[in-house]
Amino acid sequence: MSLRKSDFCQLVIQCVDAVGGSAPKSVILRAVSTATKIKFRGLDRKIEDALNELIVQCMIHEHDGNYYIKHASDSHSGNEDSD
């Protein structure tokens, strides 16, 4: 299965979302492998590239080896009323 970079990034986001919105790379790899029927060996670099691209696009962030989907509320700097 050949996927464009943007399609692959979207698939990674969907897989992270499907497992609860956060996951380590190994879980993302397994989910994408299952979804695409591509062997792990062929996915490792593509997953890494997609995760890096999604971080650059501020769609996910990484903390302690887990990748988290950023939500609209995550981008606020706390300048809203907090009464």
- What would the 3-class secondary structure string for the chain be? CCCCHHHHHHHHHHHHHHCCCEEEHHHHHHHHHHHHCCCHHHHHHHHHHHHHHHHHCCCEEEECCEEEECCHHHHCCCCCCCC
pLDDT in tens, 10-40: 999 999 999 899 999 999 999 998 888 888 7
Given a cut of 50, whether residue 66 has pLDDT beyond it is yes
Q: Token pair for residue 39?
A: 């062997």
The CATH code belonging to domain 5-70 is 1.10.10.10
Calculate mean pLDDT across residues 65-69.
94
Residue 54 is predicted with a pLDDT of: 94
Per-domain residue ranges of the chain: 5-70
